[in-house]
Amino acid sequence: MATLVSSRQSPKRKHQRLVLVVLALVAMVGGVLLAMSALKDQAAYFYTPSEAVAAKVEADKAIRLGGMVESGSLKRAADGVTVTFRLTDGKASVPATFSGITPDLFKENSGAIAEGAFDASGTFRATNILAKHDERYMPREMEGIRYDSKTHKVETAKP
């Protein structure tokens, strides 16, 4: 006599599969939590000057402060590397200082993002500056070249 093989899985195999799925989920959640805790100290929050003033950001907390370099506020020290300036968003203005080489696009009335922390006196001590450019920015190498978005053609200016 031939024995019939049931297509149904035994309860033991179902239990093993369920245990494996649960263990995989626990491992994934554990990995995500571990990564989040490791990155917690590396995360830098972005503030505008008015948000930073309103939130009363604590001293020595790493943040990013973004705004426009206030007109008439950019001063370079005699040492050639220290720069003091004010970042504004039109509502509030924050004094800032940076020691290092500034980007070429960093100037008054232009956008900038400064990474660093406030000191006890309320001055933002930047450790890094990122200069922003507007949507019309064109590298020197591309001057005289235009792109027509309607015809999708590249045109060069004739000298």
DSSP 54-105: HHTPPTT--EEEEEEEPTT--EE-TTSSEEEEEEE-SS-EEEEEEESPPPTT
pLDDT of residue 35: 83
DSSP 48: -
pLDDT tens digits, 39-90:
765 566 788 888 888 888 888 888 889 888 888 999 999 998 899 999 988 8
**Alpha-carbon gap, residue 148 to 156, rounded angstroms:** 11
Q: Higher-confidence residue: 68 or 7?
A: 68
Reading phi first (left if > 0) and then psi (alpha if -120 to 50, else beta), residue 89 is in alpha
**Alpha-carbon gap, residue 129 to 36, rounded angstroms:** 26
What is the architecture, at CATH level 2, of domain 45-131? Beta Barrel (2.40)
What ranges do the domains of the chain cover? 45-131
Q: Is the pLDDT of residue 148 over 60?
A: yes
Q: pLDDT above 90 covers what percent of the chain? A: 29
pLDDT of residue 137: 53
